Structure formats: structure tokens, C-alpha cells
Structure 1
Amino acid sequence: MDIADFRDKILKQDRRALARAITLVESARADHRAQASELLEALRGAGKQSLRIGLSGTPGVGKSTFIESFGMMLTASGLRVAVLAVDPSSARSGGSILGDKTRMEFLSRDPNAFIRPSPSQTHLGGVARRTREAVALCEAAGFDVVLIETVGVGQSETVVAEMSDLFLLLLAPAGGDELQGVKRGIMEMADIILVNKADGDLKTTAMRTCADYAGALRLLRKRPQDPQGFPKAMTVSAVEKAGLETAWEEMTTLINWRRETGHWDQRRAQQASFWFHEEVKQGLLARLQQGEAKEAIAALETRVATGDVTPSAAADSVLRILNISAR
């Protein structure tokens, strides 16, 4: 693979090259990982700083419908939009449906949009392990907005906040009350809460839910990265495309304020540090599946199961092989 040629094609917004590059960074093969690292290093600092928007919500809340309506609105205004959708992988077979392009029928045909579904595999937190690197590739390819749609599992799905500039939480009408709204976890990570399906018979319920969460947000501790009035709750209807423009205006207001006050650059620096530590952790975990450590784990597993050795003592033995102290 000619990395320099690959780099040039991505910078020229070659969609096929971008798709191949994302496949490369998602591969777990050692030779592919080496090539992916070389490509990412070659693209470092190139392209533009896209607006990264993380989007989470419970299954069935209408994330795909919202992304299609929202994405079509953005492309109609002249923006190029990339969608990185993470699909849950089966705990039994390991497979994923990857049906997001089917759900986003109109956006997938838009020449100013790029949709890439990826399996979550065994990675927790709502995103795939290499989603962050896929975001970097989309930035290099010149996309103005990168939407990161998470699996949608619940309160612990906060990793996406570590790779996005803006975190949206999509909720359904009657999805909770003020007490639910003040729970720690994903609620305190959200920048804007959008109560979807505010149409038809559910409109009144959606308005009430929005008021509940707006009240709950006022009880949360003030964050330094928020101007007055944020985070906030709003109602939208992805089906009727109602409230989308207002939501985009609020997002733009928040991002412009963060850019002007230095919070944008500060947050990106913190995220880079976070992912450095994550890569170190994942690298150490990978070493447990290789060489002496793998053999030691296999040998000690049976002894732990039969009670001949405690789990802590067995773990210490494995870590000593890696020259790592458990203390």
C-alpha cells in the first residue's frame, strides 16, 4: 500500500479511499495496524477541524430518523456531513446488522453525505474502539460536520463525549421525570437534550418531558465549558422536521462561544490525553493474549476455578511476566 498516494486521495475527498481507510483502521491485523498508524500520522494536521457531534439515546428513540432529517438540513445549507454509526454486536455470534444506511435512505444518496456503519464488537461505552480514528479520517477528508451515532444502551454510554465537541442526548416523550434527569452519568455529559417525537398525540407529552428535564438541568452543577443557559432541553420532531433549525442555531451558539473562550482547544487537548491513556491500556490488554502471558493465563485458569490459587495471586503471577506490578 502506497501511504502517500492513499493520503493524497483522502485529502482530495475521494470517498472510496476514505471507506478503505476506515476499514484499514478498524482491522486488528498487526500489519494493518502498522499501516493505519502510518496513514494517520501522515494525515495529522491536514484537512480541517470538523464539528464533531456525538449523539446518544435509548434504542427506538429515533436516532437514525433524526440524523437523516438533521443531516439533510445541513447538506441543504451547503455543509458536507459524515455519519459514523455504531451498531451493537451480538454477544453470541459477534455479528452486527449494520442497517443504518438502509434506514437513512435519502441521506445515503446525498452527494454531500457519507455514512459508515461499524460494529461495536466487544468495546464498551457505546462506540467502536476505532471510531476516534475514523473521525480523524473524516476530518482529513474535509467534512464540515461528523455525526457519531452510538449504540444506545443507557446511563453508562459516555465514551462518545471524549471524541466529540458537542454531545446531544435524544430522549423519547415520557422517558422520565426530574429525578431521572438529575441522575449522574450520561445526563451530566449532555450539552443539549432533545426530546424527539414531539408531534401528533405525543406533542403534549413531549413538551411536559422537556419541561421536566429543563428543570432537572438547572439542579446540576454549573460546568466551566457552558455559557449562560446551557445545557438546555428542547423538543424536536425528526419526522415533521420541526425544531431542527432552532436546535442547530443553539448548537452553533454554544460552539462559537467555546471557540471564542478557548474551551474548544482545551477540550480537544484533554481528549487527546484521554485517548493516549486508552491506547496504553488497550496495548497492555493485547499483550495478555500473546506469548508467555497467554500461556500463563491458560495454565492458571483451571487452578483458579478449582480453588488451588486465589484470583489475586494468579493475576499477580501473570502481571509479573509482563513486568507490571499489581500494587
Structure 2
Amino acid sequence: MSSQSPQKSALHEKDGVPQPESISQASLAKVVRSRKVQPDASTLISGILKGDITALSRAITLVESTNPVHLEKANTVISACLPHANRSVRIGITGVPGVGKSTFIEAMGKYLTGLDKKVAVLAVDPSSTLSHGSILGDKTRMEELVKDPNAYIRPSASGETLGGVARKTRETIILCEAAGFDTIIIETVGVGQSETAVHSMVDFFLLLKIAGAGDELQGIKRGIMEMADAIVINKADGDNVAKAKLAKTEFNRALHLFPAKSSGWIPKVTTCSAYEKTGIDAVWQLISEYVALVKSNHYFEEKRKTQNQYWMMETIEAHLKQHFYHHPEIKTLLEQNKKAVQNDEISPFAAAMNLLDRYFK
């Protein structure tokens, strides 16, 4: 009986040509090795002062870390960079989600790099209260600016900090300034939480608005508008041009109702289209006029000094809070008091006072 070769299925696929590796294994191994090597503080400092972006990014990662060892090294780097800081204009940008903050910042950043300025964007993304995660997608959204050699984008998670400002943004500003960036732009999460934090670390506070959004945020609009040094009506393009002009007139009237600013500056309203990149030059002109005014009347320096004092107090409060919750005895007592409060065995205020009394003994 003759042997027959088994028939192949009609669905049988012929062996194809193997695809080449998309990543060089030698390059990958080199990257892995370099990441395992942690540069010392002096290496980071030297790199930052030379404008090395890799050294800057690594130093910012140390600043954002909660590891005590990293904190000590970060403080050394910040102290060495401090004499080389304070040579930039710091701009805070806020607005409701959907107003076009990322598009506006990219258009502004490209305009400024066209003027031979070095721009650092500190984009703060909201952290989830459930998973504590954050998307950090600003580099993807600012695809043109991220490729600009005179720009640097650093997305950070907001964490538990109110106002959408990352816990260590203040120190990150110092590192960026030491690396040679003369314009620092801080993008906040958006209106909805206290924006006092970002206002207390920038020179110019810009509020982005869109025409026809309604007054759903009436309850918080006054507080934000009082802090704003300028209001920019974005998306003034297409059929929206007339609406944007009308909104500009309305906001100009509203600003006259607010008390005069101690800086001597009268807040102004302008329109732009970040998508079409029109009106960006007018926005920068406003910022330049403001900086010239506050430097001539010495408000610029006084505000920076006040901000430094504010952040010293904020840092003390943050460290006290962290030390309290990491205290071994308090950790145990805290869980006991939580259960007692839930079972109505003790009031929340009495439980808090008992914990504080034990902590300070």
C-alpha cells in the first residue's frame, strides 16, 4: 500500500518573509544601561547649566519624587541652580476645559520661538481621584512645538494639589530657568478648583475664554477674572468672529467693575484664533507691555519676593502634613479614630484634636 502525503488545507498560508526588528537591540540595550546609571548631583547641575534637556528632565523627575534620597539630591541641584534662575517671564494660562489651552499654547510657543526665545511649557494634567493616574498627553497634542529645538514640554500630574498645579512645579520653574529658558508657560487643569496656586508663581496670569459659552461658571468667574491680567477670547474664526467681538466688549465692561490692581496695570481683553494662528502677536504685545510697566514701577521684583515667602510657608505646611501622616504611631491611631468616627463613637473634631495632641507630645 503506497504512502500518500497528507493534503494541505486550502487555508494553509505560505511562510512569509520574517519582518525585520523595528528597534535595534544594541541601541535598546544602550538606553537601558544609561537609564540604570543615576547621575550624581554635580553631573546634573553641570548638564542643566549647559542646557542639556536630558539632565533637566532627570532633575525634574528627582524633584517630583517622594523618595527621601531623591529629595536630598533634588535640593542640592535646586540650590546650585537658584543663582542662575529668575531670568524669565512666567506666564500662567487657565480656562475651562475645551477652550483650547493646548492649541493656544502651541501657537504662542511657536510664535515666541520664531522671535528667538526659548520656551518651556509646564503642562499640568488632572489626576484621577480613583486610580490617581493621569493621561499626560500634552506632548501629543502639541506635535509641532514638541519638535522645536527651542521649546521644552514637561507634562506633570496634578496629584492632590488644588488648582491643578503639580506639587513641585515651583522648583521645576527654577530648573528650567537655569537651563536657559527665558519664557515659562504653565498650563493649568482649568477653572473648577482654586487657581491661587498658579497665580502665586507666575508674573502674568492669562484667562482664556470662548464666546457663547454661557454663564454656567458665574459663581467662580468673578474670582478668576479678578486675578487675570488679560482675558483672551479664543476661537475667533469662521462664524465665531462676530460673537468673539461681542464677548470682548462685554468682558471689557465687566473688568471696569473690579478694583484697581496694585501693579498699576489695567487688565485688557483681546481676541485670537489659536487654530488659525491669528491674534497671537497681539497677546504677546499685551504681555510685553505688562512686563515693561511692572518692571519700571518695581512691582515685578516685589511680587517675586512675596511669592517666595508664600512658597516657603506652603512648603512648611506640606512637609508637616507629610510627616504627620507618616508618623508610625499616628498611622495606627488614625485607623482607630476613623472607625470610631464612622460608628459615631466620637465626633470628627474631637478625633482630630486627639490625634494632633498625641502628635505634638
Paired residue for 1:58? 96
Q: How does 1:91-170 map to 2 (within 5 A)?
A: 91-154=129-192, 156-170=194-208
**What secondary structure sits across from 2:87 in the alignment?**
coil
Q: How far off its partner does 1:322 sit?
A: 2.5
Structure (1 or 2) with the larger CA radius of gyration: 2
Q: In structure 2, which of residues 273, 285, 305 is the aligned counterpart of residue 249 of structure 1?
A: 285
1:275 aligns with 2:300: no
**What secondary structure sits across from 2:222 in the alignment?**
coil
Paired residue for 2:45? 7
Paired residue for 1:315? 352
Q: How far off its partner does 1:186 sit?
A: 1.3
Q: How far off its partner does 1:163 sit?
A: 0.6
Q: Which moved more, 1:168-177 or 1:278-287?
A: 168-177
Q: How far off its partner does 1:180 sit?
A: 4.2
Q: How far off its partner does 1:48 sit?
A: 5.1
Q: Which runs of 5+ in 2 are unaligned?
A: 1-38
Number of residues of Structure 1 aligned to a counterpart in Structure 2 = 321
Paired residue for 1:264? 300
Paired residue for 2:18? none
Contact 1:155-1:186 at 8 Å conserved across structures: no
- Opposite residue 174 of structure 1, the aligned amino acid is G
Q: In structure 2, which of residues 203, 222, 225 is the aligned counterpart of residue 184 of structure 1?
A: 222
Contact 1:79-1:145 at 8 Å conserved across structures: yes
Q: Which runs of 5+ in 1 are unaligned?
A: none
Contact 1:88-1:96 at 8 Å conserved across structures: yes
Contact 2:162-2:194 at 8 Å conserved across structures: no
- Opposite residue 221 of structure 1, the aligned amino acid is P
Instruction: Give the Cα separation in 2 of the matches to 1:247 and 1:181.
Output: 27
Q: How far off its partner does 1:9 sit?
A: 0.7
Instruction: Give the Cα separation in 2 of the matches to 1:321 and 1:29.
Output: 26
- Opposite residue 275 of structure 1, the aligned amino acid is W
Q: In structure 1, which of residues 9, 12, 29 is the aligned counterpart of residue 67 of structure 2?
A: 29
Q: How far off its partner does 1:94 sit?
A: 1.2
Instruction: Give the Cα separation in 1 of the matches to 2:187 and 2:179.
Output: 19
Contact 1:11-1:47 at 8 Å conserved across structures: no
Q: How far off its partner does 1:185 sit?
A: 1.7
Paired residue for 1:89? 127
Contact 1:57-1:154 at 8 Å conserved across structures: no
Q: How far off its partner does 1:61 sit?
A: 0.4
Supply the RMSD in Å over aligned alpha carbons.
1.6
Instruction: Give the Cα separation in 1 of the matches to 2:148 and 2:138.
Output: 14
Paired residue for 2:14? none
Contact 2:86-2:174 at 8 Å conserved across structures: no
Q: How far off its partner does 1:184 sit?
A: 3.1
Instruction: Give the Cα separation in 1 of the matches to 2:74 and 2:315.
Output: 14
Q: How far off its partner does 1:226 sit?
A: 2.9
1:303 aligns with 2:332: no
**What secondary structure sits across from 1:45 in the alignment?**
helix
Paired residue for 2:33? none
Contact 1:182-1:217 at 8 Å conserved across structures: no
| Offset from partner CA, 1:144-176 (integer Å, 9 cap, x none) | 100000011336323111110000000111134
Instruction: Give the Cα separation in 2 of the matches to 1:211 and 1:184.
Output: 17
- Opposite residue 236 of structure 1, the aligned amino acid is C
Paired residue for 1:68? 106
Instruction: Give the Cα separation in 2 of the matches to 1:300 and 1:57.
Output: 40
Q: Which moved more, 1:292-301 or 1:80-89?
A: 292-301
Paired residue for 1:233? 269
Taking structure 2 as the reference length, the TM-score comes to: 0.86
